[in-house]
Copies of this chain bind each other. A is one copy, B any other.
Amino acid sequence: MTHEAGAPVAEPIRARIGAAEFDIHLGAGLLNTLGELWAPLAAGSKVLLVSDTNLAAHAARAAGALERAGLAVIPATVAPGETSKTLAEVERLSRLAAAAGLRRADAVVALGGGVVGDLAGFVAASYQRGVRLVHVPTTLLAMVDSAIGGKTGVDIPEGKNYVGAIWQPEMVVMDMETLRTLPARELSCGFAEVIKYGLLDGTPLFERVEAWPELPGPGDELAELIRLCIEHKLRVVAADERDLGIRASLNLGHTVGHGIEAAAGYDRYRHGEAISLGLLAALRIAERECGLDPAWRERTRTVIARHHLPVTLDPAVPTDAIVAAMGRDKKASAGGLNMVGVGAPGDVRLGVNPDPGDVVAAIEELRQ
């Protein structure tokens, strides 16, 4: 089904991934209807509601909606930011759930951005070997990316998301109103992934993304743009849930991007910012490896800049540290970096293994 730009987004998106089937609800004010949307859960069920300390107002609305539906809410908050993605937090949340008597037929609700989704998602995947999960992403990044596809996990000092699971939710609820209170920088970071989908999906989506004004832009149209990104990701994930093939395409811009994040320290660049730089480097490499017309990189650079995302790399982040971190990326193999490239928007190439010198050159070019 297609929606015209500006039309209200009312029908949920039906996701089918492996044996899992669930609805993704997208609209304004949905937090208040969370309990009604969640018909399959019996009244009296317990819900571990995980959010971060910045999200108290949203969490209170969600808790109220769940309680009105007869569910017993166990509230849990974590500190905002990547430092909460630890096994120690998994243990703390699991113990909280156990002490409150959460059982296998009960559920976890992950309300927040990528950090809360990854952490609470892994708690849901592992508590009593797996309980029900509802994702309520409250950032643009989580809506278009991290809440979709079932990847959950926490970090160890040796790497991000090194301990985790693939665990699908039984519902995803996106309340567009949560984006209103999102800091501009967070909104922009989500847009970096939107730009990625434009490059992966093809010229029509790329040009729609390219034409987007400064964020947030018109609300209904933003919901529609989010839907198009989700639908792209769902198609890819449905074909390759366990990330053994085409799902790697979603990593476009992430090989260099993760390298920049790791080398710069996770507070210098946010994920979306590092990915913006990573996309530009990936397109530079794709010009040589996949015959990409350089005009696409210029156009992408213009979109990135419009959304106040970085197009030049901090000189303080050394290239050799970035390259070393890239070699430790989970997607890398003994055979090479296994980067993603495009020959044009929508013409996706996997297993791109450029010469080390070309990788260095692409990173150096980000400094100009």
B90 touches A125 (CB 8 A): no
Number of interface residues of A (CB under 8 A): 38
A98 touches B164 (CB 8 A): no
CB distance from A127 to the nearest CB of B (A): 6
A151 touches B165 (CB 8 A): no
A159 touches B98 (CB 8 A): yes
Question: How often does this chain occur in the complex, in copies?
Answer: 2
Complex CA gap A333/B42 in Å reads 13
| CB-defined contacts of A128 to chain B, threshold 8 Å | 161-162, 164, 330
Contact A334/B156 with A87-B87, A87-B90, A98-B162 known, Cβ cut-off 8 Å: no
Interface: A44 (CB within 8 A)? yes
CB distance from A324 to the nearest CB of B (A): 13
Interface: A297 (CB within 8 A)? no
Contact A330/B153 with A91-B163, A165-B126 known, Cβ cut-off 8 Å: no
Residues A259-302 near B (CB distance < 8 A): none
A156 touches B91 (CB 8 A): yes
Q: Is the interface of A mostly helix, strand, loop or mixed?
A: mixed
CB distance from A157 to the nearest CB of B (A): 7
Closest to A242 in B: B130
| CB-defined contacts of A94 to chain B, threshold 8 Å | 156, 162-163
CB distance from A178 to the nearest CB of B (A): 27
A333 touches B103 (CB 8 A): yes
Complex CA gap A122/B91 in Å reads 14
Residues A136-166 near B (CB distance < 8 A): 151-153, 156-159, 161-166
Query: Residues of A with Cβ closer than 8 Å to B?
Result: 44, 87-88, 90-91, 94-95, 98-99, 103-105, 122, 125-130, 151-153, 156-159, 161-166, 242-243, 330, 332-334
6 contacts between A and B (CB under 8 A): A87-B91, A105-B333, A126-B126, A126-B165, A129-B152, A130-B165
